[in-house]
Amino acid sequence: MSSIHDLTVFELTRALKTKTLGAVEVAEHFLDRVEHEKLGSFLSHNRDTTIKSARASQVKLNSNKAGQLEGLPIGHKDVFVTKDFPSTAGSKMLESYMSSFDATVVAKLANAGCVTVGKLNCDEFAMGSSNENSAYGPVLNPWDNAKVPGGSSGGSAAAVSARLIPAATGTDTGGSIRQPASFCGITGIKPTYGRISRYGMIAYASSLDQAGPMAKDAQDCALLLSAMCSGDPDRDSTSLDIPAEDYTTHLNDSLKGVKIGLPIEFFGEGLDTGVRKAIELAIDVFKDLGAEFVSVSLPKTQLSIPVYYIIAPAEASSNLSRFDGVRYGYRAKEYTDLIDMYKKSRSQGLGEEVKKRIMTGAYVLSHGYYDAYYLKAQKIRRLIAEDFSATYKKCDVILGPVAPTVAWGLNEKIADPISSYLADIFTLPASLAGLPAMSVPCGMSDAVKPLPIGMQLIGNYLQESKLLNVAHMFQTLTHWHTLSPTQAKTDSPL
């Protein structure tokens, strides 16, 4: 049997149920790894809390009261508030902030039996795509420590990839699950907007934020998503009031006759050759599985960048107003009056990228600019969604790259934030339309230290099951999702 940390969620939970492994033994194994990690992926962990929770799981496992995921160690992105661990959202503003309640996602996973190992690093308030915007330092890509893990769920992706935990939660506003999953060689899904409750998720951009699971493969994501989804009408008005679904049911459905759309705009200039090649090979795999391909067009793909960078900062500028130093969080040590207290607390407590987006957001919402920016962006956003609707008349699933390139170097884009904004081009459209989308490992770059390449699958509304089916069938024929940076780096990718 392979090492505990190489097991998938599926294998691990089965081993726990059959008592091949004990919950405490599993928790200790992962805690040991977390305590010795050097990637900066964890912001907090607490052995006592985790072991206590694992013991409780074992009791349930012994008495046949076990949940679906009983005893499964998990890490939560630090934008989910938790009672047992600090919730900082990667910001100095919330340094050592303790929540009085658990996020719905956290509570649901705990209910299903998950044992929380700790909280995961991320870009401050989920703003960024390299995890370099965290107040608590960057996260290193486990495949090449000189590279970024992607962001904003960089800690989640790196920790799963480095086998520090079998699975993690992430959040995706403009690609924050998919892009780091791609950069770190794991599988992640952002479901339809509203499929998972946002209650207890520290808001970045409310109309875009969506939680999702990050794990080794599609089957694991299906298991986790089944436990995370469901309506939460009493706590989140934007959650879809539809019952939870078992996403494992259709994993093995045949792909014969499934139509996959390839948007021409996703394969244009700027797409790295290695990434393009990996996607093309993936297409061949799907052909072997019986899928059919159609060329489609999403003509407003380019516009998704300015639209996103208007709407998200606008919402963020308002969402982050609550961090004013009055009731909780960071407050400047010295100030002369109320206004000075606000200014100093927020200037000192918030990071550069966050302040930049707050300024942008305040600007686009201000009197005289609202129509030209925010309102226009909302209109184009609707058009982007309509483009998708039209496309889904021709195909079941859309396929393309997650990002134009593999992971870039640490500090490489700090001086040029626009270039990292532009790198979001393939993940933003699905976010703006609120569609489910996932990232699936489909290759490794051709370099001394090869880096993972991710392919993106975008489904129609509430078609998570179809996405997971397509991804899972791909993974039955490929091994990319089984590679790990902890194995010998000389492993041939093919």
Partner 1 sequence: MNNSISKNHQMPSEVTSLIQGYEVVIGFETHAQLLTKSKIFSRASTQFGAQPNTQACAVDLALPGALPVMNIKAVECAIRLGLALGSHISSKSIFARKNYFYPDLPKGYQISQFEIPVVQGGEVQFFLGEQPKSVRLVRAHLEEDAGKSLHEDFVGLSGIDLNRAGTPLLEIVTEPDMRSSQEAVAYAKELHKIVTWIQVCDGNMQEGSFRCDANVSVRKPGQPLGTRREIKNLNSFKFMQQAIDYEVLWQIEQIEEGKKIQQATVLFDPETGETRSMRTKEDAADYRYFPDPDLPPLEISAEWIDQVRASMPELPRSMAERFIKEYALPIYDASTLTQSPQMAAFFEETVRHCGQPKLASNWVMGELSRKLNEESVHIQACPVSALQLGAIVSRVARADISNSSAKTLLDSLWSDPSADIDALIQSKGLKQVNDIGALEKLIDTIISGNPDNVTQYKAGKEKAFNALIGQAMKASKGQANPQQLTELLKKRLQ
Known catalytic residues? Answer: 77, 152, 176
**Within 13 Å of residue 7, how many CA atoms lie on the same side as its CB?**
19
Pairing of strands 452-459, 42-45: unpaired
Say if residues 220 and 180 touch (Cβ distance below 8 Å).
Answer: no
For residue 94, the minimal CB distance to partner 1 (Å) is 7
The site that binds partner 1 (CB under 8 A) totals a number of residues, namely: 44
Cα(489)–Cα(430) distance, rounded to whole angstroms?
Answer: 34
Of 224-263, binders to partner 1 (CB under 8 A) are: 233-238
Residue 354 is a binding residue for partner 1 (CB under 8 A): no
Cα(51)–Cα(153) distance, rounded to whole angstroms?
Answer: 25
Contacts of residue 290, defined as CB under 8 A and 6 or more positions apart, other chains included, come to: 254, 255, 256, 257, 258
Cα(409)–Cα(406) distance, rounded to whole angstroms?
Answer: 10
105/117 with CB nearer partner 1: 105
Piece of the chain touching partner 1 by CB under 8 A; list 116-124, 362-370, 414-422, 436-444: 362-370
| Token duo for residue 337 | 């009056």
Give one DSSP letter per residue of 155-216, joined into a string.
HHHHHHHTTSSSEEEEEESSSTTHHHHHHHT-EEEE-STTSS--TTBPPSSTTT-EEEEEES
Piece of the chain touching partner 1 by CB under 8 A; list 111-119, 197-205, 399-407, 416-424: 197-205
For residue 206, the minimal CB distance to partner 1 (Å) is 4
For residue 432, the minimal CB distance to partner 1 (Å) is 13
Say if residues 155 and 135 touch (Cβ distance below 8 Å).
Answer: no
Binding mask 309-338 for partner 1 (x = CB under 8 A): -----xx-xx-xxx-x-xxx---------x
Using CB under 8 A, pick the residue from 365, 383, 414, 422 that binds partner 1. 365
Tokens 């270039």 map to which residue? 419
Using CB under 8 A, pick the residue from 4, 24, 61, 94 that binds partner 1. 94
161/173 with CB nearer partner 1: 173
Give one DSSP letter per residue of 260-287, joined into a string.
EEEEGGGGSTT--HHHHHHHHHHHHHHH
Using CB under 8 A, pick the residue from 370, 476, 487, 491 that binds partner 1. 370
Using CB under 8 A, pick the residue from 35, 59, 101, 416 that binds partner 1. 101
362/383 with CB nearer partner 1: 362
Backbone angles phi, psi at 120, to 5 degrees: -110, 140
141/171 with CB nearer partner 1: 171
For residue 359, the minimal CB distance to partner 1 (Å) is 12
Residue 136 is a binding residue for partner 1 (CB under 8 A): no
For residue 470, the minimal CB distance to partner 1 (Å) is 30
Residue 66 is a binding residue for partner 1 (CB under 8 A): no
Cα(122)–Cα(215) distance, rounded to whole angstroms?
Answer: 16
Piece of the chain touching partner 1 by CB under 8 A; list 11-19, 89-97, 280-288, 383-391: 89-97
148/354 with CB nearer partner 1: 354
Residue 206 is a binding residue for partner 1 (CB under 8 A): yes
Cα(8)–Cα(15) distance, rounded to whole angstroms?
Answer: 10
Tokens 């207290």 map to which residue? 341
Beta strands in 13-72 (DSSP E): 42-45
Backbone angles phi, psi at 367, to 5 degrees: -55, 130
Which residue from 364, 391, 366 is spatially nearest to 296, judged by alpha carbons? Answer: 391
For residue 100, the minimal CB distance to partner 1 (Å) is 6
For residue 200, the minimal CB distance to partner 1 (Å) is 4
Using CB under 8 A, pick the residue from 57, 66, 77, 80 that binds partner 1. 80
| Token duo for residue 219 | 């089957």
289/365 with CB nearer partner 1: 365
Residue 159: exposure state from Cβ atoms within 10 A (0-12, 13-18, ≥19):
buried
Residue 99 is a binding residue for partner 1 (CB under 8 A): yes
7/81 with CB nearer partner 1: 81
297/318 with CB nearer partner 1: 318
Binding site for partner 1 (CB under 8 A): 80-81, 87, 89, 94, 97, 99-101, 103, 198-203, 205-207, 233-238, 314-315, 317-318, 320-322, 324, 326-328, 338, 342, 362, 365-367, 370, 374
